[in-house]
Structure 1
Amino acid sequence: MSDDFDGLVAVVTGGASGIGLAAARELSRRGAQVAVLDVRPEVADPLTGFACDVTDDSSVRTAVAGVADRFGRIDVVVNNAGIGAQGTVADNADAEWLRVFDLNVVGIARVTRAALPYLRRSPSAAIVNTCSIAATAGLPQRALYSASKGAVLALTRAMAADHIREGIRVNCVNPGTVDTPWIERLLAAAPDPDGERAALRARQPHGRLVTAEEVAAAVAYLAGPASGSTVGVELPVDGGMAGLRLRPVSS
C-alpha cells in the first residue's frame, strides 16, 4: 500500500528521531507529505522540518499554521513527542512531574487543538497518539512515566468520543520497550548494561526489543483508510507483553 496516503498531509511531533522519525518515513513512503515538528527539526528530504516546542502554545500554533500554509491542508496528526522518567512515586520532585505531564499530555492537547480547524476540513482526518505499555501494565521504577501515559490513553478515548462525529478518528499505539536512542542512553547509564538489555528483552514474550519501524507500521495503519472503522483503541506493539502469560522456560 505504497500510495494509500497520496494527496494527504501528515504532521508528526517529535519526528526527528526514534519512533517519530520511523513513523514520518513510513507515512512518506506511503505517499503522504510529512511535516516533522521537533525542537531540532533537522530531517532529510522528502520530509520537511518545522521548529516546534510542544510545551509552548505559541510555538505550536506557529508551526501548525506553517504546515498548513506550506501544504494547504492537514489530514493526519501523530502526537509522538514525549520524554521518559524513572523512579518510584517518591523519586521525582513536583517540578519533574509537571515537566513530564506538560510535554507528554498537555503537549498532545496543544498540538491537537491547533490542528483541529484543518482536520475538520479533511475527508481523511486521523489522529494517532503514542502511548505505551506502561499505561496498561504496572512496570517497576516507572511511576511518573506510567501516570503520564495512562493519561494519554484516557485522553485518546475522550478525544475519540469528542471528534468522531466530526469525521476525525483518534487512536493510539502502545509500544513495549523499543530500541531507540532513549533506551540506549538508559542502558549506557545502567550499572550492568548487558544485564539490563537482557532483562528488557526477556520481559517481552517474543524475546527482543520492539523496532521503531514496527511501531511506525502500526501508526500508519491507524492513520490510514484501511482502519476507517477503528476508533478509540490502543494498539499494542509489544511482542505480546500486554496479553500473554507464558510459563517459565524449564531449565
Structure 2
Amino acid sequence: MSGFWKNRTHNLARMSLADLFRAFFTYPSVLAYIAVAAASFYFVYRWYESPLPLAVAWVATGLVYPMVWYCLHRWVLHGQYLYRSPLTAAVWKRIHFDHHQDPHNLVVLFGALYTTLPTIGIVTIPIGYLIGGPAGSAMAFGAGIVITLFYEFCHCMQHLNTAPKTAFMKRIKQLHLAHHFHNEQGNYGITNYVWDRLFGTFYAKAKLVPKSATVFNIGYTEEMAQKYPWVNRLSNFTRGDGNPRRFRSEPAPGESA
C-alpha cells in the first residue's frame, strides 16, 4: 500500500470522521469497488433496452442482499469449519477472525476482494439476468457493489470512536458493538436486522442475552487452537480469548492513529 495507508496503523478508536473519510476513499479495495461499479454501469449503458427491468433488478438486489449477508455472516464467517482445514484457515482468519480479535483495526475491517467480488457476482448476476438480461445482470452487479460500499462505510462508522449524528447510525452502532463486545451469536446484520428478527438472533440490548465467553475468538478457543493450529500459527500465537488485541502496541513515531 502507499500514500495514506503506507506504514500506518488505523485504529478507529483514535480516528476522527475526517480521518475515516480520508482512509476510506484511499483504501485500495474501495477504489477497486468504485472502478468495478463504474464498469458495470458502463455495460448497463451499452446493453440498455428498457428502464423498468433495470429498476426491478436494482430493487431485487437491495432486497436479497441483507438475507445473503445474514446467511454468510452467521453460518460461514461464524461457522466452525473454515479454521479446521489448512486450506481455508488463512481465509477465515483474514475475513473475520482478525476483525473480532481487533475490532477497531480498520485494516482488517474491510472485506477481502478475492472473497467479496465473486460472492457479489454469484448472487446478483443471475438475479439481474433473469429480470433484465445482460443489462439487468450488469445493473444488479453494480447495485451489489454500491450496497457493499454502503455496508463497508457504515461498518467503519460503527467502530469509529465518535457519536453518530442520526438515529439510524446510533441504533445500528449500538447493535453491532453488542455483537462484538457482548454476544457474537446474534445481531448479525450490519445495517438491516430484519433477518435477525426472523431467525431469532436479534437482541435490542445487551442485558437481554448473557455475555458470551467466545465473543472475541468466535469459537476458536484454546481447545480448538490445539486441535486445529493453523490460525493460531498464522496469528503468531497471540490469539486472545478474554479481550481483543485493540492495538496493544502504541503506533510508532510518524504513524497515524
Greater helix fraction, Structure 1 or Structure 2: 2
Greater strand fraction, Structure 1 or Structure 2: 1
Instruction: Compare relative contact order (CA 8 Å, sep 6+) and give the higher one, 1 or 2.
Output: 2
TM band (smaller chain)? under 0.3
- The normalised TM-score by structure 1 is 0.27
Q: Which has the larger radius of gyration?
A: 2
